[in-house]
Amino acid sequence: MFGIPSEYHAGIVTDVRKISLTHLKPAERRRFREALKELILEYVVKSDHIPSYVTETDSVMAVQFITVNVDAIRSAPFVCGILQRMIKTPCVLKVRGRREEMYSFALKRLNLMDKGSVVVDDEFLTWALPYGVPSADDGLIHTYASWDTVVNKTNLYSWYTEMMVKCYIITHRTIWSGMDGLLSSKVWYNTEDVMAMYTELKDLVKLTEQRGRSVTISQSAKLNRELRGIYERLRSFIEISN
């Protein structure tokens, strides 16, 4: 998974029957237990190789890579939404159904009212990919977001956000012709720039979807103006030279 070196392999299988779900409603607990079939902690990368990242609102001491087997890929949003809030560290969830798989990412921060829990500020799932069959998306993930190709390992937070945002671009790369330029640009050396770009990318995806649903010429014209502004700002990230 993402070419993580074998020295970080854990291979720990969790007994899904023993996962505490007391914070969920009875119907949610039942649905979760029916959907989740297997949970395997594949890799754990700690600060022995990549420095930790600790601030008043963040405490990133490790990044986990977990395989999540579910009854069907359609259960992925529900199951991942719960798991990402239960797991305190940043983690990459590889969700597998019968024939497809997808990745789940989430940006988390400390809950200042309860330091023992986290708040998920943002999360997304990649498109479903054929399980066990090489695809263009798999190739791009290997080329740009694997262990050997991520460029910013200043700390665990920078590493994780680079993987996440690159996978977001790969997932939505067909909606703008400049996506490949973003993947190969030098923006990735600065995490603040990466997060600013991610905000623009989310707006790009949202407005593109709205344009597809627009029913009047005036609506389409307004959305096109807003999109042109986003295209221009995204090009500035491609042009970063250092």
pLDDT over 90 at 77, yes or no: yes
Residue 241 pLDDT > 70: no
Angstrom distance (rounded) from CA 72 to CA 29:
17
Picking from 83-92, 194-203, 210-219, which range would have the lowest pLDDT averaged per residue?
210-219
The band of 63, judged by pLDDT with boundaries at 50, 70 and 90, is very high
Q: Where on the phi/psi map is residue 2: left (φ > 0), alpha (ψ -120 to 50), or beta?
A: left
Per-residue model confidence (pLDDT) at position 242: 58
When pLDDT is averaged across residues 161-185 and rounded to a whole number, the result is 96
Pick 111 or 191 by higher pLDDT. 191
- Pairing outcome for strands 36-46 and 62-70: antiparallel
- Mean pLDDT value of segment 168-185: 95
**The pLDDT value given to residue 62:** 96
Which of these ranges, 30-44, 120-134, 173-187, 196-210, has the smallest mean pLDDT? Answer: 120-134
Local confidence band at 203 (pLDDT 50, 70, 90 cut-offs): very high
Bridge partners for 15 per DSSP: none
Residues ≥6 apart with Cβ < 8 Å to 223:
207, 210, 211, 214
**Are 87 and 184 in contact, with CB atoms under 8 Å apart?**
no
Report residue 231's pLDDT band, with 50, 70 and 90 as the boundaries: very high
Query: Domain limits of the chain?
Result: 6-171, 175-242
Whether residue 195 contacts residue 157, with contact meaning beta carbons closer than 8 Å, is answered with: no
Beta bridge partners of 39: 14, 68
Residue 34 CB coordination number (10 Å): 11
Lowest-pLDDT range of 14-18, 28-32, 225-229: 14-18
Q: Phi and psi (nearest 5°) for 210? A: -65, -40
Strand (E) or helix (H) holding 52: none
Q: What is the mean pLDDT of residues 111-134?
A: 85
Separation of alpha carbons 6 and 39, rounded Å:
19
Secondary structure E strands in the chain: 9-14, 36-46, 53-54, 59-60, 62-70, 91-96, 100-111, 114-125, 129-130
Secondary element (H or E) of residue 162? helix 156-171
User: pLDDT band at residue 60, thresholds of 50, 70 and 90?
Assistant: very high
